[in-house]
Structure formats: C-alpha cells, structure tokens
C-alpha cells in the first residue's frame, strides 16, 4: 500500500510542497485533492500545475542569476 501511495503522490516539480509549506497544510492532502480535482474536471488543473511549476523554476533561475557575482 505504501508503494502505491508513493506512486500516486510522486513529487514532480515541488508545486504541492511549496503550497503546503506556504499554507501550512499537509503536502499529502494537497496532492490527494489535486488528484481528485483532476479526475472530476478531466485534467484541467494539470494546466494550472504546469504554469505554477514553470513560475517556480523561472523564479529560481532569476534568484540564482542575481546572486551570481560573475555575471556582470
């Protein structure tokens, strides 16, 4: 059962983790509700998930670029 749960709650981009930390909610509950909502709405929240993942990665690259002293 634990193996199945890990397969379903596999962290891809860290979006659910970031939301859970900001909102102080269990990460597994956020992932579970995301899966339920995706099934009921035929996958439309996946688009929102990818937008948030893209935003998080762009934010990380911008912060790294600001901290890089070699970049003029």
Q: Give domain status of residue 2, yes or no.
A: no
User: Which has more confidence, 67 or 29?
Assistant: 29
Q: Give domain status of residue 5, yes or no.
A: no
Range of the domain at 49: 12-67
Q: In the prediction, which pLDDT does 5 show?
A: 63
pLDDT digits (tens, 9 = 90+) for 16-44: 888 888 889 888 888 888 888 888 888 78
Q: CB-based contacts of 32: which residues, under 8 Å, 6+ apart?
A: 9
Q: In the prediction, which pLDDT does 56 show?
A: 80
Number of domains the chain contains: 1
Q: Give domain status of residue 27, yes or no.
A: yes
> How far from the centroid of its chain's Cα atoms is residue 46's Cα?
10
Q: Give domain status of residue 4, yes or no.
A: no
Q: In the prediction, which pLDDT does 58 show?
A: 81
Other Cβ atoms within 10 Å of 31 Cβ, number: 20
Using an 8 Å Cβ cutoff, are 15 and 5 in contact?
no
């Amino acid at each position: 059962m634990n193996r199945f749960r890990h397969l379903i709650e596999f962290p891809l981009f860290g979006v659910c983790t970031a939301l859970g930390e900001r909102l102080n909610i269990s990460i597994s509950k956020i992932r579970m509700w995301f899966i339920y909502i995706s099934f009921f709405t035929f996958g439309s929240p996946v688009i929102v998930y990818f937008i948030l993942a893209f935003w998080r990665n762009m934010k990380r690259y911008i912060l790294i670029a600001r901290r890089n002293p070699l970049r003029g």
